[in-house]
Structure 1
Amino acid sequence: MSWQERYKSKLTTSKEAVTHIKSGDTVLLSHAVSEPTALVEAMVENCKAYRDVVVSHMISLGRGAYSKPEMREHFRYVGLFTDKATRASIHEGQGDFIPVYFSEIPEMIKKRRLAVDVFMVMVSPPDENGICCVGVSCDYTMQAIKSAKTVIAQINKYVPKVGGEAFVHIDEFDYIVEVSSPLPEVKWAETTEADLKIGQYCASLVEDGSTLQLGMGGIPNAVLASLKNKRNLGIHSEMISDGVVDLYEEGIINCSEKSIDKDKMVVNFLYGTKKLYDFVNNNPAVELRCADYTNNPLVIRESSKFVCINSAIEVDLWGQVNAGSIHGKIFSGVGGQVDFIRGAAMSTDGKGKAIIAMHATTTKKDGTKVSKIVGSLSAGTLVTTSQHDVDYVITEFGIAELKWKTVKERSRSLIAIADPDFREELSKQFELRFNEKC
C-alpha cells in the first residue's frame, strides 16, 4: 500500500482510539502546548472502562480531569513535573511524582524505567512523503514514539513545522485521529518594575555573543527586554517564548557566534502565543532537539559564553535553592534548572554563568509579605540546586555572586539583596548561626 492508503487504514475517532488503552496501562502524554486534548478528553469520557491507568507527563495546560478525586478508581497521575491542574492529586495522595532531570527523561523511557504502554501525541498533518512534525514539543516525544507499545496521534493542522529532530513518519503511529483546534496560548502577566530591575541586573552579566537559556515567566521576558543593546546573541534552551521573536527580528539574536549549532536557535519545546508558533513555522533558524541533547550538560558546556537564567521559590543563607516545593508539598519539579547550571559550570571556555533570578519577596493570600531569602529552608523543603552548584542569585535589589565563596561571604551577599524589611531579621539569623556580627 502507498503511505496514503496506510494512513487511511489507521484513521479512527478519538472515542475509538482510546479503547486501545487497557486497565493497568501507563499512558504518557506529549506535554505543554503539545498535549493532545481531543484524545485526553476522550480517555476521560471513557474512564469507566479502565482501572488503575497511570497517566504521566511534564506540564499540562489542560484541565487534568484524570487527576481529580472522582477519577481515583480509574486513573493515577504520576508527574514528571507538576502544574496547577494536577499537583493537588499528589498532595491528596491520589497522584505521585518522579524526581528526574529533564535531560534524563528520554533515557528513562528508553530503559523502560517509565514503561510506556500508550503514548498520545499531537502532530502536524503529513507532508507529501507521509512525514509529520511534532511541532511544539520534541523533548521526550521522539523517544516515547520509539518506545511505546501503542502510539496514538492527533493530527492538528495548527501544529507548526519546525526543523531539527521533530519529524516522524505516519508508519510510527498505530492509530490516527484528525482533530484540529488552535494551539493553547501562554500569556504572562504585565512586566512589573521589580521584573525590569531584575532583568537589567541579569542583562549586565550577558556579554555580546553569549548563548542564552531562559525559563518561563515574567522575569525571563524582562531579561529579554533588557538585552536591546546586546549583539549577536544565541539561544540554546529547553524552551523559548514570545520575547525571543522580538529580539530575533531586531537582529539582536542571530546565533552567529554560537560555538555549536551555529546560526540556529535550539530548543526542545515551545511555550508562547500564536506569534511564536507562526514565527517558528518553516523557519530554518529554529530547530527542535530532544531533551537528552538540549539539556545534556556535556552538550551545554560546549556553548560559548553560556548564560542560563532560572527561577526559584526561595533561597536560604547557605545558598540552597528551592524551586520545587511550598510548605513541604510538591509545587513543580526540577525541570532543566540543574542541567543548565551544571553545563554552565563546566563550560569549556570558562565563561559560563548560571543565574537564579527571583523577586525578593512574595505576598501571601492574606496580604502578608514574605521574604524569599530565608535563614534556612524549612523541614520537608526540596533542594533543587545545591549550595555547591549555585552561582549567581539576583533580586530587584542586586546581584549576589556565591560560587566558591565561604558560607559567611555568601550569607552576607544574600542578605544584601534581600528586601530591606527583612535584612535585620536575616542578620540576626546570621549572628546566631556563625556567632559573629553580620
Structure 2
Amino acid sequence: MPEHDPHPASPATLTARPVGREVVLPRAAEAMVWSGVGLPSDAVAVPGVLLGLGDVLVEVELATVCGSDVHTALGHRPANKPLVLGHEQVGRIVAVTEKSYAANGMSLRVGQRVVWSVTVSCGTCPRCRRGLPQKCIELAKYGHERMRRGWELSGGFATHVQVRAGTAVVVVDEQVPATVLAPASCATATVVAALGAASALVPLAGATVLVTGAGMLGVTACAMATDAGALVIVSDPDAARRQLALAFGAAAVADPGAPCESPTGVASVLTALQQAGAAEPTIALELSGARPAVKTAIDLIGIGGVVVLVGSVSPGEAVVLDPESIVRRLVTVRGVHNYTPGDLAQAVAYLSGAWHRHPFSALVGATFDLAKADAALALAATARHPRVGLTPQPPATLG
C-alpha cells in the first residue's frame, strides 16, 4: 500500500506553476477534510479550480478506503494535516488544459473515464531519470498532502480531484465496474510492481510463491501470480481471509498462528506441497507488514529465492536477520513502495480481463455517501472487507 513519504513536496513545487485554465463549476465541488485523530472530517466547498498546464479535473465516480487512509486517521503514521484523504478512485474527466496527456502519451479529453497514480512526479530529477518517479525528489501524493490554496482537491474523498501534470493517467474501459477499477491506483499497481521485482530474478511460471497477508494486496497477488502460472500459498491469521484467497486461486492456505507441529502452519503446508511434487518456494511476497511475517518469508524462502517486502510501511520493531543464512541460500531481499506509470497501465489491463475470472467486484463491501467518510474509515479499520467504498453526490458534469 502507498504510504506517506517523509519528504513531502516543496512549496515551490505545489504553487509556482503555469496557469492553464480557470474552471468554475456549475455547483461547488466538495472535499472531506481530515484534521486530526479523533476529529470529525469537515466538508469544504471548492467553487472553482485553477488548472495548471497539463492538469485535468476529474469528477469522482467511486473512491475506496485504502489501509494507509486508515493508518493516517488512527494516527499510526505522520500526516500533513489538514488534508483530503483518498488515493484509490476512478472518475471522469470534466476539464482539460493544453498538454494534458495520458501515461501512454495520448491527449486526454473531456468525458474519458480514468484512474491515476498516487504520485505526482517532476520527470526530470535524478530519481525520475533513473526510472524511479515514485521517489521523485519533488514528490507530491494524492491523499497525503496538506490541503492548501491552489490544490484544495488533492485527494479522492471528494466530488472532484485536480489531477496535476506529472501524474500517470490511464483511460479505462466503460464496462469494467468501478469497484474493480478504483483500487488499481494503489493496491493493484503496487502488486504489479511487487511481482515485477520478483520476476526480474525468478520467473513466475512454474514457481512456488508464498504470499503473507490476504488483504486486498494479498488476494490480488494471488490471482495475478496464479494467472501467470505460479503455484501460490497464502498465509493469513484470519480464517475468512484464507477462504477468500482460495477464491482467488490459491493452491493452499496456512495459518501463521498455528503451532509449529500443526498441519495448517506455514512450514507444514509448504512441506506437504513439496512432498506432493511442488517446487520449494522461490518467491515470497510479504504484504501484511507484520514483523513475524517478514521473518517467516525470509526464513522459508528456497535457494536462490527472492523476498519482496511491501507491507512494512509503518514504524515498528526491527527484524533480526541471519546474514550467513542469506548468503548461503543466495537470497535476495527487495523493497517495493508505490509503483511506476507502466505498473499502473499494466494493472488496468490486467483488471480489464481478470474481473471476469476472479471476484474482484466483491472485494468492496459497504459503500457510503461522501459525507459519511468517517463511518467508512471506521468500518475499514475493522478489516471486515478488503475495501470500503465512498460515492460522492456529484454536481452536474461540465459540457
TM-score when normalising by structure 2: 0.27
Structure that is richer in strand per residue:
2
Greater RCO structure (CA 8 Å; 6+ sep): 2
